[in-house]
Structure 1
Amino acid sequence: MKKYDFIIAGGGMAGLSLAYYLLQSPLRNRSILILDRELKNRNDRTWCFWEGTTKSSRPCAFEPVLFRTWNSVSFNGTTYAGPIDLGKYRYKMLRGIDFYDFVQAELAKYPNVEQKQVSIDRIKDTPQGGFVIANDEPYIADYVFDSTFALKLDQPENHNLLQHFKGWVITTEKPCFDPQQPKIMDFRVDQQGDCRFIYILPFDEKTALVEYTLFNGSLLTDDEYDAELRRYIDQFLDTGAYQISETEYGVIPMSDERTEENPSEHIIRIGTAGGFTKASTGYTFQRTQRYLQAIVHNLAKTGKPNRQVSWFKGRFKLYDSIFLNVLEKNRHPADDVFTRVYTKNPRRIFAFLDEDTRFIDELRLFATLPFWPFTQAFFDVLRRKLAG
């Protein structure tokens, strides 16, 4: 049985990003095996993220294939409708198919990279290395990077919500979109006791991705997502006739379940499996890129992939749990919470969500939130964690 240097279990965004960064590092000639059950040959998802423009900001590795970049975004909340100041940040959109094609073209340059379309049955650690069973065939490597591990999402001491969404790319008869300004949240939809909003990514004046997004614990039927999309389009967009050219659907866990990035000596979990998704927002892409770059840097420098994390950074996990508690318990209307966050903390909010703020900035942001709901959430989080 051939032993690889690295096996990447799961060839989605996290797995392919890791392969790309390995090939841009001194480790580029190591043997790499990528295992995934699907061919990545269709535009199955979209990733959006903000990124800094200062001299110290590192540009996105996939900048050449970004679909759109915006200097401004807009927001519709309870007390405000209009643009949000991005400050030093830019909002960027990457289509799944463009990302897949870009990375696959890079992988094709390296004969030391193998890919197999298989279903992964089991991953375990052994004294000889990380061991993977896929389609009843064994594979072994010095390190296995696993993005397939599923979180439990049912432990009572944790907060376990879902970010789920369905979107349509529509082409309209009339020009009704502002191509210079995506709408990151529009709360002019029935909240039904939780958090629901519309998200619009304009491609031009007549084409956009219009997405219905929810933060709660229950998925909808296709017909329910479709009905809300139609209702919003009919009520708030002067489209004339329109056609649906693409459909996008996804579910992202919003959970503060404790994850183990390094569960054993030869296995490293990446992506959502490794806790790369920010629990309070569901944002994953940019955090995954940063964390994977750190893993590859350490691996090339020390031979070990363990990412170094400051203990003080752990405060952001507490913030995420408190925010999830407010949403889960409906302690305050979510549309008002987000309105306060975005309108009273211009510029600061994006650094905060990137976990790049100072503690004093975080205190200033907290001062803009409703006091009692978040105080109650803080103590409930402590109670649940201690009880667990």
Structure 2
Amino acid sequence: MLVPDYYYVIVGGGLAGLQLASRINNDVFFKGKKIAIIEPSKKIENDKTWCFWQNTPGKWDHLIHKSWNKAAFFSSETEQTLDLGEYSYNMIRSSDFYEDVKKELEKSEDFIFIQDRIEKIDPVTRTAVGKKANYTATHFFDSRLTDKYKEEVKHTVLYQHFKGWLIETQENIFDPGKFTMMDFRLKYKDSTSFTYVLPLTAKKALIEFTFFTPFLTAEKVYDEMLERYLKEILQLKDWKITETETGIIPMTDFPFHENNSAYITRIGTAGGWVKPSSGYSFKSTERKVEQIIENIKSGLATSEGLFNKSFARYDSIFLDVLSRRNDLGESLFTKFYTKNSIEDIFRFLDEETSFSENIKIMLSLYHPEFIKSFFRKL
């Protein structure tokens, strides 16, 4: 084989690709290795909002747009204020993240940004075929999501899909010290659906209507539910929409990691890095990137140790329940947030809890449907 164009090619300049690139850039082990980041768009718009919790200082603290220490949870029967204790819940705008990492990498002679769309990667010739050119490398990190996860009926597939409005009001409406984790007081019929509120100031907030369902819906449905929430729940008469964002995240127990090979590692959503039962990805991506770096430096396969089978099993059972009985979502999430401490909740979602702690949390969610799903997924 001829000398490849690049040591690594990172396909996709989103969250996973740029976190990986930044981590490589800050490790002397990779100094002198030529790396290409190939992305079809310029990535200059704020196309996503990422939120995550942490109880220690982190690498991305300088990009935090807003942080909260209290959360609200609403169901049709209860209202809870959750004190996050040692944790903070943080928001990062994607445009800030893209700009920050690009500026960092542009100072390095090892990285090059290429605007192109990769159509396929040939593992035999180790070639990424793009619309503009072909690119060879010793290894590819591929963030392209295919539809293969939809084709195998033995795996459960739901979608977390949403639309958000960044609104401004004339009067002081919001408590900027407390965000709303979930508000089930307004739901779409027979579904797991809720509103998520991130107040930035007393007059400004990002409000998202979110579905966690086996089906997708028309654009007008999000708009109708958002407008109803503003009028019926927040009792607003006047507001201005300054930004909008939408998203569709597959929530599935499909084993994305089985698509990894000696020369291709799937990353991001395409690698199964999104937590299937919650949709959170920012800190999960950071942890998996760290594991990849450790694997490379130790001479292991890049995907070694990226997934915890026990937590994957819990996620799979939970997804199966919601797939068959999507109307149970409000009840299950209410139990989750009212019967467990916020510290245990965050540690469980971060896959840091012990077996006994996991059993305690799963029992707090108990419903007969879990027994059916347990045996279905066995």
Amino acid at match of 1:363: I
Displaced runs of 4 or more, over 6 A: none
Query: 1:381 and 2:371 equivalent?
Result: no
Query: 1:3 and 2:11 equivalent?
Result: no
Amino acid at match of 1:200: V
Local SS of the residue matching 2:257: coil
CA contact (8 A) 1:151 1:257 kept: no
Select the residue among 29, 34, 51 that pairs with 2:37: 34
Local SS of the residue matching 2:256: coil
Q: Distance in 1 between matches of 2:160 and 2:326?
A: 18
Quick one: structure 1 residues 304 and 315, their matched pair in 2 at CA, closer, same or farther if it must change by over 3 Å?
Answer: closer
Quick one: structure 1 residues 361 and 78, their matched pair in 2 at CA, closer, same or farther if it must change by over 3 Å?
Answer: farther
CA contact (8 A) 1:176 1:238 kept: no
Quick one: structure 1 residues 207 and 86, their matched pair in 2 at CA, closer, same or farther if it must change by over 3 Å?
Answer: same
1:50-89, aligned counterparts within 5 Å?
50-53=53-56, 59-89=57-87
Local SS of the residue matching 1:317: helix
After superposition, the C-alpha distances for 1:31-54 in whole angstroms (9 at most, x for unaligned) are: 11010110011111100111123x
Partner of 1:115: 113
After superposition, the C-alpha distances for 1:247-299 in whole angstroms (9 at most, x for unaligned) are: 00000000101112662211111111111111111211111111011112332
Q: What's the TM-score once normalised by structure 1's chain length?
A: 0.92
1:190, CA displacement in angstroms? 2.5
Amino acid at match of 2:359: L
Q: Distance in 2 between matches of 1:262 and 1:298?
A: 18
Query: 1:176 and 2:197 equivalent?
Result: no
1:307, CA displacement in angstroms? 4.0
Partner of 2:311: 316
Q: Distance in 2 between matches of 1:17 and 1:261?
A: 22
Query: 1:354 and 2:350 equivalent?
Result: yes
Q: Distance in 1 between matches of 2:171 and 2:246?
A: 26
1:133-282, aligned counterparts within 5 Å?
133-135=129-131, 137-152=133-148, 153-260=150-257, 263-282=260-279
CA contact (8 A) 1:345 1:365 kept: yes
1:125, CA displacement in angstroms? 1.1
CA contact (8 A) 2:311 2:351 kept: yes
1:91-102, aligned counterparts within 5 Å?
91-102=89-100
Identity score, percent: 38
Partner of 2:16: 14
Local SS of the residue matching 1:278: coil
CA contact (8 A) 1:173 1:239 kept: no
1:191, CA displacement in angstroms? 3.9
1:60, CA displacement in angstroms? 2.8
After superposition, the C-alpha distances for 1:89-124 in whole angstroms (9 at most, x for unaligned) are: 211100011101110110111122111111111112
> What are the ranges of 5 or more consecutive residues in structure 1 without an aligned counterpart?
54-58, 383-388
Select the residue among 340, 347, 352 that pairs with 1:345: 340
Q: Distance in 2 between matches of 1:379 and 1:298?
A: 35
Local SS of the residue matching 1:325: helix
Q: Distance in 1 between matches of 2:358 and 2:197?
A: 28
Q: What's the TM-score once normalised by structure 2's chain length?
A: 0.94
Local SS of the residue matching 1:367: helix
1:87, CA displacement in angstroms? 3.4
Number of residues of Structure 1 aligned to a counterpart in Structure 2: 373
Amino acid at match of 2:48: R
CA contact (8 A) 1:5 1:32 kept: yes
Partner of 1:44: 47
> What are the ranges of 5 or more consecutive residues in structure 2 without an aligned counterpart?
none
Partner of 2:293: 296
1:82, CA displacement in angstroms? 2.4
1:11, CA displacement in angstroms? 1.0
CA contact (8 A) 2:10 2:17 kept: yes
Quick one: structure 1 residues 94 and 28, their matched pair in 2 at CA, closer, same or farther if it must change by over 3 Å?
Answer: farther
1:241, CA displacement in angstroms? 1.5
1:77, CA displacement in angstroms? 1.8
Amino acid at match of 2:152: Q
Q: Distance in 1 between matches of 2:319 and 2:55?
A: 26
1:320, CA displacement in angstroms? 0.5
Q: Distance in 2 between matches of 1:192 and 1:381?
A: 27
Which shows bigger deviation, 44-53 or 204-213?
A: 44-53
